Amino acid sequence: MFKHRIALLLALLFVLFAQTAQAFFGVPYITPAAPVAGETISVNVYQGGGCDAIGTQAIPPQISQQGNTITILFNGVRETDPDWCIYGDGAVTYPVGTYPAGSYTLQVDLRYFNGGKYVIETLGIVPFAVEGIPPAELIAAPTLNAAGIGILLLMIGGIAIWACRSPKSSLVVIALVCLPLAARAQDVRSNRTIELLLTTAPGAPTPQQLVDYYTRPVGPPPLRALTDPPAESVRYLSTERADGDFLAWIEANPHSVLAELERYLRVVYPEGTDLARALSALQADPYVKSAAEPLEMEFDSVSLVDFDVTGNGAGPTGGSQYGRDELNIDAAWQIAGGYGLVAAIDSGLDIDNSALRQFLANGQYLGGNFIPIVSKDLGGEGTGIPNGATVDEIESMTPIACNGQPPQLPSLAGHGTHVAGLIAANGDAGLGVRGTCKHCGISMRKITYADCGPEDVVMPFTNGNAKIAALKT
């Protein structure tokens, strides 16, 4: 009986400590842990969960010192929209400098764009001491690696099964012991955002009234549905607000698409909120025209090795391509052969790809649907990085060297090219791929810039300013 209780207790402890990760920045730390005078000190910050990222090259961090207090200000992103949680996990390492013997404090700050303005957040404060002479050599202590931990778990599982005499209890223990091994970070990341559209009915609050209230809340919120459950913040969906003649036109046309875009808000609730109840309250409010959770989707990329829109052998004469045959697109082309202009807000595209390009330099018509004159690079908006002359995914990017590594181009470029091909790739280009819309022009809005990411890999960073500007241009 005693052994049975011990086994169950061990299993329960494993369950309790098997917490899955959410998007986060880890506690900063320095290397080397015990620096000596004249030795370069680097700060390390782990980013995880896909929604948070730090850049170090395109916009280098600012390092300042007052007395023995050192501050490093990184530039990065902190996404609240799951659709844009595209960043990898890993540690960002950046050299801070060398210092004489003494005691110091390193403050690690992050600046990111949020809610129409830049926010500075302190990620951590690291006290450290610099010795004047090298410390005594440390003796390495053995620790369990991944294989050792796996063996330990197997041993505990075996003990638990041996201790449980009945078959049912054995199965329970097996399930409890193995549960931590199946945990995934994405399993516990819950959405906390609802996007709502305000009406223009008499008495309805304006978007500005709601945003201003949650900047400095005094009294009850202007929208009753936000009180139960209480919202944490309210932000504009589009932070670039209309003004001048454009504002006058919107006010005169309150039912237009552009006017509704101005009235869209993003409501963020505290962690653990019953979002279904919050959604029901908003949908029942007479001043809310619509309310819904953001669509769940992933922003994935191909590597530069496959930087193309080439298919897998599926040509214009047949074969399956992204479910295209199942959608019966060819039959739709027979009755819908008109023209449309599609705006793509993405990472740019390969402007020379024969399935996308319209003309060669000599004027030869290729038939692609990418239209350069209505496309724009907005990746540097508000960052101090100049926008490129084209929306090419890689041509306008200078190779970047991260922490002494050889210069490299973004390793995840290619997403925009892939998406553009799905929209309107020219099936006569001989690449074995056809777009969905035969006569649709592509107006690309590039919203990324290149910078150093985790593990010194150059990657495209989405720019909050650019996303909003892309919606308005």
The answer on pLDDT for 229 being more than 80 is yes
336/329 Cα distance (integer angstroms): 10
pLDDT digits (tens, 9 = 90+) for 331-389: 777 776 668 899 999 989 999 888 898 887 777 888 889 999 999 998 888 777 888 88
Q: Which two tokens stand for residue 335?
A: 């009755």
| Contact indicator for 453, 53 with CB cutoff of 8 Å | yes
The answer on pLDDT for 394 being more than 90 is no
pLDDT digits (tens, 9 = 90+) for 429-466: 777 788 888 788 999 999 988 888 887 888 888 887 78
In this predicted structure, what is the pLDDT of residue 318? 47
Range name among 87-96, 174-183, 331-340 with the lowest pLDDT average: 174-183
pLDDT digits (tens, 9 = 90+) for 3-32: 444 444 444 333 333 333 345 788 899 999
b/e map 250-285, b = 16+ CB within 10 Å: beeeeeeeebbbbbbbbbbbeeebebeebbebbeeb
AA letter at 431: L
Q: What does the mean pLDDT of the chain come to? A: 76
| Contact indicator for 360, 354 with CB cutoff of 8 Å | no
Range name among 41-45, 47-51, 58-62, 319-323 with the lowest pLDDT average: 319-323
Task: Report which listed range, 132-146, 157-171, 233-247, 346-360, is most confident.
Answer: 346-360
The answer on pLDDT for 246 being more than 60 is yes
In this predicted structure, what is the pLDDT of residue 320? 57
In this predicted structure, what is the pLDDT of residue 148? 53
Position of tokens 């922490």?
A: 403
The answer on pLDDT for 301 being more than 50 is no
291: β partners: 196
In this predicted structure, what is the pLDDT of residue 59? 79
What is the value of pTM for the model shown? 0.49
In this predicted structure, what is the pLDDT of residue 60? 83
- Which residue in 325, 387, 333, 392 sits closest to 357, CA to CA? 392
In this predicted structure, what is the pLDDT of residue 171? 33
Using CB atoms within 10 A of its CB, is residue 339 exposed (0-12), middle (13-18) or buried (19+)?
exposed
Would the CA dihedral through 154, 149, 47, 108 be positive or negative?
positive
In this predicted structure, what is the pLDDT of residue 129? 93
38/134 Cα distance (integer angstroms): 11
What residue segments make up the domains of the chain, in order of their start? 1-135+142-188, 193-292, 304-472
The answer on pLDDT for 196 being more than 60 is yes
